[in-house]
Amino acid sequence: MDQSYCDRLRQDMYFLTSNGRLSEHLVDKIILQLNRVYPQILTNKEAEKFRNPKTLLHSRLSDLIKHLQNKGDKHCQEFYRALQINAEQVYNDLPSRKIIKTTDSTGIDTDKEQYILNDRGPMFFLACFSVAAGFALFMYCCNSGTKVVGGARKILGFSPIIIGRHVRNICMLYLEDTSRNK
């Protein structure tokens, strides 16, 4: 479902021109960006016409959208880029963007997926990593094929900062007990 930017702008026109969606300040910023960054999109005269404070915001925005649609797809694309830069929340709420998001072939809502992956903090990561590292060290030291009990004892003896004393004492007792049994 590959729509041109002009078609998307036609679809989003009512949403963009509805009252309260875009403030006069935002419309001016978009017009200035189209004029200054892309002077081939809006000339100075056209920018002055669309920034005229005597004209209602709704009609200025409608005229701007119609003007860009008449100029072609590249101009509409630059309007969307300016909208995204200056009013990202409005850009994300556009009806044409919602259609694109729902027709994603993976079927994963990226906003929700991002939340699911990032809802735990760094302490959770450190806790999981510590448990995994401790389990790996424990398995390495307790493996009957390796003879590093003395080395492991040295490592655990000098690590009161890395693991708590209580946990270190338990590990040391276990290592001493396994070395006696051999």
Domain spans in the chain, listed from the N-terminal domain onward: 5-93, 120-144
Overall pTM > 0.85: no
| Listed range (43-57, 79-93, 140-154) with the worst mean pLDDT | 140-154
What's the confidence (pLDDT) of residue 152? 55
173 vs 36: CA distance, rounded Å: 73
Report which of residues 162 and 44 the model is more confident about: 44
Nearest to 130 by CA among 152, 163, 161: 163
Q: Is 144's pLDDT higher than 60?
A: no
The topology (CATH level 3) of 5-93 is Death Domain, Fas (1.10.533)
What's the confidence (pLDDT) of residue 45? 92
35 vs 178: CA distance, rounded Å: 78
